[in-house]
Amino acid sequence: MSASFDKDKESLVKGFSPMHDHPLQHQLFYGSSNAVNGSSNLVSSPSQSPAPSSPSMVGYHMPMYGNNMARYPVQMNLSQKLQPQQQSGMNHNPLAHHSLSAPTGNSPVSPHIDLSTLNSSQPNTPYLARQLSYAQMSRQSASPHHHARTAAALARGTTLSTAVTITDPNNPTKTLTGLGAKRGGRSTEGHDNEGVPAKVNDPNPLQSWSSLDMGGMGLQNLSATLFNAYEFLTTLYINHNNLTYISSAISNLVNLKVLDASGNKLTSIPPEMGMLVQLKELLLFDNSLETLPNELGTLYQLETLGLEGNPIHSALKSLLLKEGSQAVIVSLRENCPVGMPPPEREWITVDGDSSNDDPNDKITVFSYNILCERLATASQYGYTPSWALSWEYRRELLVPEIVGWGADIICLQEVELGEYENYLRDDLKKLGDYNGAFWPKSRAKTMGEKERMVVDGCAVFFRSSKFNLIEQQVLEYNQSSLKRDDFKKTADIYNRVMTKDNIAVMLMLENKHTHARILVVNTHLHWDPSFADVKLVQIGLLMEEAIKFAERHLQPTPESSPEAPVYESATQLPTIICGDFNSVPSSGVYEFLSRGSVKQDHEDFGNHAYGAYTTEGLTHDLNLRSAYSSLNELPFTNYTPGYKGVLDYIFPSANTFSVSGVLGPIDKEYISRQVGFPNPHFPSDHIPIMCELVLKTPAKEKKETPSVFAKN
């Protein structure tokens, strides 16, 4: 078990029940108590029992996080309140308005028959016709390398003598004969025009092709090399062989969009196949499958699931034929058991300045983008169960996570105005004796009261037992940009910067014990990678305004103690800048903050013009350094299928603070099994970051050279 920071503060949020088999999961999806009793599980085979280590063992309860941090209390009578969330969580699926319940028979497993032999009570749906059509094409593609030979013939412009409609695996819109309609566009279970090979003159030979046909070869095993060296594959045919299993290493083929494993002897599918979130077609016709692992529920982009010719579970088969592939995936996802939580994150000690051991000079800082309710949509996070995406569920995890680490200063991004006023402000005051300051994004000023409540912004909380608030101020980037005369002359300011309403919140705090003043800044920069220039402009404006704000507080206030220090300049005033910067460590934003300057022709500016910023460059005099720079940053702070990397930082002034410790990364083994966040254990697509800072003694207050911080 790894060590954690500040163990004596773990009891702050103890006393709540564990999350395993959360009733909200069943209530949100089924709207009844039957699911809680297990009667509505459509996908698990009663003939299989979980292994002793399986997280689905009955009666097993586990904590959601390390540090003994349990959940925030929640009302269990949420069926009416959660109904809109349930509906919105399935809006991305055109079939989701149908009920997922299925008729039950005397036996949960159907006999091994074709779907076409179903009795007359089975409705003749388009999904049944599609299964039969796809299965028929699969059975007529059993010859060795059928798809590869077809593609070669198409490339030569020749015609094979065949009555079977076949398609080019690299371009599914092409058909070899005129016997079938071309597949174009996108339907409920259609096929996108994916898999087009890379350019022939690509210098990397592995990128000149993306489809591999190993079908019809009588293979009994697949080499591990296939899964470890061909991650670039988008289409893989291993159909009509003698395979009895598929290795879990198939999860390495993360770019797969089409996988055909029909006509084998498979009795199970590895749960790790759920990591292949790019899959559009998964064809498993004519195997010996009775059920599917719930982990396939993460395949939110899957359009066609081929199961005809398998002795599949009757409820699962009925759902597939009545409502289609996407309904099956939704069912799998919503019924997936909550797995084991990760080990608690380690607290990593950093070699800082050890000359000051005064506990009053130690400050812990916590920063977290909590993913506001308005942005947590099923279309954006389709791999997350709707019950785990609901705000009621996520709030249960967020509050103990925020309070449980016992930080002195907390900076949160994507906090909705209504959530701050109705919940967070009071919860953090009650659970951690925090006072706070919050501003929503600029758009809130133009909205009515109801609309304003869902606008997100930035919040800063601080322990009232340790700090006094001297002044607070909001920085609206779009408005601040108009105060510069050189910006008013450039069209890019109006077209690119003024249209973004990001903000920063600045607080001047005074330590009640040492009387040292501390500038705390919390910001959330624009998200779009194609607007790197806007992010540079925003961070340039932030540093200008932060220095002006600091210069107003170099002298103690009249209410301050006579022992309060006097600072010669803003560079000597302890400063902490936190936030979601939506910028990677190689970006101009990171370079500017950590090195103190970027050139006027920095690539992030592109061809855009921003007055002196793009004629003279940007500079600032604060000596900032990322708290995680000694680790070369974390592996990631944002974790989704589309992006895994670092976007969040804490930048203390290195001439006034030393870093004594940081909150470590998420366990690698746990991460290797996760498609992305949020999930039942992590309520946001970001993870929190945290550090402990020690105020340097006066003898150590020297400005270090910028080269010390050059990491890129």
Residue in 196, 259, 195 with CA at minimum distance from that of residue 227: 259
CA separation for the pair 712, 705 (Å, rounded): 15
CA separation for the pair 506, 41 (Å, rounded): 50
Q: Is 261 exposed, middle or buried (0-12, 13-18, 19+ CB in 10 A)?
A: buried
CATH (residue range 115-335): 3.80.10.10
Helix count (H) and strand count (E) of the chain? Answer: 17, 23
CB 685 within 8 Å of CB 381: yes
pLDDT for the residue numbered 563? 87
Which are the contacts of 205, defined by CB distance < 8 A and separation ≥ 6?
none
User: Residue 99: how many CB atoms within 10 A of its CB?
Assistant: 11
Which residue in the block uniquely carries the two structure tokens 């002897």? Answer: 265
Query: Could you say which DSSP state residue 346 is in?
Result: P
* Alpha helix positions (H), 265-357: 314-323, 325-335
pLDDT for the residue numbered 441? 96
CB 500 within 8 Å of CB 527: no
pLDDT for the residue numbered 43? 37
CA separation for the pair 324, 126 (Å, rounded): 8
- Compute CA distances 325 → 55, 131, 316, whole Å: 26, 10, 10
Q: Is-catalytic flag, 580?
A: yes
**Which residues does the chain have with pLDDT short of 50?**
1-120, 160-166, 174-206, 699-712
CA separation for the pair 141, 82 (Å, rounded): 47
CA separation for the pair 330, 34 (Å, rounded): 18
CA separation for the pair 574, 528 (Å, rounded): 31
Residue in 163, 151, 154, 141 with CA at minimum distance from that of residue 238: 141
pLDDT tens for each residue of 224-265 = 999 999 999 999 999 999 999 999 999 999 999 999 999 999
| Cis peptide preceding 529, ω within 30 of 0 | no
CA separation for the pair 691, 247 (Å, rounded): 41
CA separation for the pair 54, 48 (Å, rounded): 12
CA separation for the pair 616, 537 (Å, rounded): 13
Which residue in the block uniquely carries the two structure tokens 């080269």? Answer: 707
* Dihedral over alpha carbons 347, 350, 352, 357 (to 10 degrees): 30
CA separation for the pair 391, 338 (Å, rounded): 18
Residue in 114, 298, 146 with CA at minimum distance from that of residue 211: 146
pLDDT for the residue numbered 134? 92
pLDDT for the residue numbered 103? 32
Domain boundaries, the chain: 115-335, 347-709
* 413 DSSP β-pair partners: 369, 458
pLDDT for the residue numbered 471? 97
Give the DSSP letter string of 115-175.
GGG--TTS---HHHHHHHHHHHHHHTT-STTHHHHHHHHHHHT---S-SS--EETTEEEEE
CB 664 within 8 Å of CB 345: yes
* 407 DSSP β-pair partners: none
User: Residue 108: how many CB atoms within 10 A of its CB?
Assistant: 17
Q: Is 621 exposed, middle or buried (0-12, 13-18, 19+ CB in 10 A)?
A: exposed
CA separation for the pair 658, 98 (Å, rounded): 58
Please work out, in degrees rounded to the nearest 5, the angle formed at the alpha carbon of residue 53 by the alpha carbons of 49 and 58.
55
CA separation for the pair 285, 291 (Å, rounded): 13
CATH superfamily of 347-709: Endonuclease/exonuclease/phosphatase (3.60.10.10)
Q: Is 48 exposed, middle or buried (0-12, 13-18, 19+ CB in 10 A)?
A: exposed
Which are the contacts of 274, defined by CB distance < 8 A and separation ≥ 6?
293, 295, 296, 297, 298, 299, 675
pLDDT tens for each residue of 94-117 = 333 333 333 333 333 333 444 444
Catalytically annotated residue among 408, 456, 492, 580: 580
CA separation for the pair 156, 147 (Å, rounded): 14
* 235 DSSP β-pair partners: 211, 258
